[in-house]
Amino acid sequence: QVQLVESGGGLVQAGGSLRVSCVASENIFSFNAMGWYRQAPGKQRELVASKSRGGYTNYVDSVKGRFTISRDNAKNTVVLQMNNLKPEDTAVYYCNANSGGVNLWGQGTQVTVSS
């Protein structure tokens, strides 16, 4: 089974930037969608951004214009560049790979934005 490993989380002040990366143990080309979700304490996990195999991107409204998702099938990586971070972006960020009945998750990486 494909393993997803995230890295790059950390602590940043509001207005700062972070880049979280996800490396897959196998080729990700076959996955229809690669994305990032996040879960803040006491809240449900939500989709932050996704990118389809065909290049279509989708963002939750709260991050549009600030976050950018990129997908490199040759390197089996998915990266979320986060700019102008806000305290409400604080959460554990999870990498996700989805295709048909297969839905895989990484272990998560903590992103904390201080005010």
Q: How far is CA 23 from the centre of its chain?
A: 11
Q: Identify the CA nearest to 27 among candidates 8, 51, 48, 2.
A: 2
Bridge partners of 23? 5, 77
Cα–Cα distance measured from residue 29 to residue 74, given in angstroms and rounded to the nearest whole number:
8
Q: What is the residue type of 37?
A: Y
For the chain, 115 residues long, give each residue's pLDDT as a single digit of tens. 889 999 999 999 999 999 999 999 988 888 999 999 999 999 999 999 999 999 999 999 999 999 999 999 999 999 999 999 999 999 999 999 998 888 999 999 999 999 9
